[in-house]
Amino acid sequence: MTIKCLVIFRESPYSGLRAREGLEAVMAMAAYDQQPQLVFMAEGVWQLMAQQDELERKNHSKMLAALSLYGVDQLFVHTPSLIARGLSHAALLLPCEPLDNTTLSALIAQSHKVLSF
């Protein structure tokens, strides 16, 4: 049985380990044939921006690029979070469906589980 799981990313890619741990959780779910939906909002929208390659840490954007190979292809971005940071959809590294506050609430309401990282 597939559980509708929503994973919300709310932190920037290298501020701590949450972004990475969230991604690992998603990939573990994928290994069990689950297909979680991903939402990037608040500081989490920075995970979708380019130019992450100067760091010593593992490259988060490279890992995100592997999601389609893991069968995870339902990605959403919270548009008000982008706007608040002066970012636009055009700059996103991966195709994401836009969400406003209403559609975000609806998405959360229709999910069986919601994880926040």
Q: Using CA atoms, how far apart are residues 116 and 11, in angstroms rounded to an integer? A: 10
The answer to whether residue 84 forms part of the interface with other proteins (CB under 8 A) is no
Q: Does 3 bind other proteins (CB under 8 A)?
A: no
Quick one: which H or E segment has residue 76?
strand 75-78
Site map (CB under 8 A) of other proteins, residues 49-78, x = contact: ---------xx--xx-xx--xxx-------
Residues 6+ apart with CB under 8 A from 110: 4
Q: Among residues 32 and 90, whose Cβ is nearest to other proteins?
A: 32
Contact 56, 94 (CB under 8 A): no
Span 24-53, contacts to other proteins by CB under 8 A: 24, 27-28, 30-32
Question: How many amino acids of this chain bind other proteins (CB under 8 A)?
Answer: 15
Q: Does 114 bind other proteins (CB under 8 A)?
A: no
Measured CA angle at 50 (ends 44, 51), to 5 deg: 115
Binding site for other proteins (CB under 8 A): 24, 27-28, 30-32, 58-59, 62-63, 65-66, 69-71
